[in-house]
Amino acid sequence: MSEKALNFGEAMKRLENIVQQLEQGGKGLEETIQLFEEGAALLKKCQQELSSVEDRVNELSLEEAEQLGDSE
């Protein structure tokens, strides 16, 4: 599945879509389980992402910011 490539916004959009499909029902067992699995994985990923973003406010002068780029 291409889950890894999805950013948070895309993951949420996909998740919303999956839940809607599950709510509509009418799909076969295989497909339903597949959807549910994908949804569960996306939920986990989103929840992890929400709590994993680091707390960091960095203040740099323009020169410092430019030097950071130059020092590579």
Partner 1 sequence: MALDSTTSSPIPIGDFVQFVKQTIVQDPQFQLQTLKGEISQWKEHNNNIYFALRDEKGQMNCVIWNASIPIDPSIREGSEVIVIANLDLWPKQGRIQLVVKKIMPVLSIGELELAKRELLAQLRQEGALDRPKKPLPVLPKHVMIITGKNSAALADMKRLAVLRYPNIRISVVEVLVQGQQAAQEIARALAVSRAWADKHGAEKLGIVPVDVVIVGRGGGSVEDLWAFNLEQVARSILASPIPVVSAVGHESDILVSDLVADVRASTPSHAVELVVPDRLNLEQWLDELEMRSSLAMSRYLERNRTQLNFLFKRLASAPKAGVVAMHRQLDGLKSRLSASVKSSTNQYRQQLIQMQSTLNAAHPQRTLERGYAMIESKGAVVQSIHDIEEGHTILLRLADGIAHSTVQEKEIGE
CB 14 to partner 1: min, Å = 11
Q: Considering the rule CB under 8 A, would residue 30 count as an interface residue with partner 1?
A: yes
Q: Considering the rule CB under 8 A, would residue 31 count as an interface residue with partner 1?
A: no
Closest CA to 20 of 39, 44, 46: 39
Residues forming the site for partner 1 (CB under 8 A): 7-9, 12, 15-16, 18-19, 22-23, 25, 29-30, 32-33, 36-37, 39-41, 43-44, 46-47, 49-51, 53-62, 65-66, 68-69, 72
